[in-house]
Amino acid sequence: MKSYQTLLTELDDKGIFTITINREDKLNALNKTVISELNDAVDEIYQNSAIKGAIITGKGIKSFVAGADISEFKGMTEAEGKALAQRGHDVFDKIELCPKPIIAAVNGFALGGGCELAMACHLRIASENAKFGQPEVKLGIIPGYGGTQRLTQLIGKGKALELLMTGDTIDAACAAKLGLVNDVVQTVELLDACKAMLQKITSMAPFAIAQVIQSVYAHFKDGINGFDTEIELFGKCVATEDFAEGTAAFLEKRKPVFKGK
């Protein structure tokens, strides 16, 4: 496995790859190095067949990611701002469109870029002390890593506009009520809860899981008909060995053994 300056990575015997942002003294704030290394770590998820699913989390119990490293923003030009935002979009889109499931284990603060990173993951499980928000307007800017779009998709336009324009922070219970997170657990149970969810998902047919992800996100792409995508990908699933195994196992009243083919 590759070694990183700002990340810790671990692959367990269940095929779960854990990426931990390791800047605890900075509340795991995102800087250019973190973004670059996240890109490389996500490439590992795509390329390593031993990886079945992944967890992204932050070091310690205080913070998942407390935002971007604001020190890098000072004196930035408009062109530099666009380039920074584009780089974030490229990496977070890669997370969102990954054919393998990725869960954000949100421990503590998930603000600004941290909230955006969590939203780019397929699912979000939060610790009881988690806090979410997009406070960028307090700095005179807007979210730049997809926050205006993904927050609206997850919780609806009205509430998203409220949080984006006030910069308010919400707790884990509120985030769960709004649909921003899938579950809230005690801090000590967070990683185990994420691993349990991933093990449940990865016990299903891998090709089918990948097509679920592709079909769902097709709905949000300009010029793409999500229903047409679903029809096409359903047909592809029917042609797989895993579909034959799944239907045979159902009829034979046994547990299927999927091979990802």
Q: Of 11, 60, 8, 5, which is closest to residue 36 (Cα–Cα)?
A: 5
77: which 2 tokens? 């030009």
SS (H, E, C) 172-217: HHHHHHHCCCCEEECHHHHHHHHHHHHHHHHCCCHHHHHHHHHHHH
CB count within 10 Å of CB 171 equals 15
| Options 44, 128, 136, 232, the catalytic residue | 136
Give 249's contacts (C-beta < 8 A, 6+ positions apart): 255, 256, 257
Contact 144, 201 (CB under 8 A): no
Q: What angle do CA 180, 222, 164 make, to 5 degrees?
A: 35
Q: Hey, what amino acid is at 230?
A: E
44 noted as active-site residue:
no
241 noted as active-site residue:
no
Euclidean distance between CA atoms 126 and 118, whole angstroms: 10
Give 248's contacts (C-beta < 8 A, 6+ positions apart): 256
| Options 24, 44, 116, 245, the catalytic residue | 116
**Known catalytic residues?**
116, 136
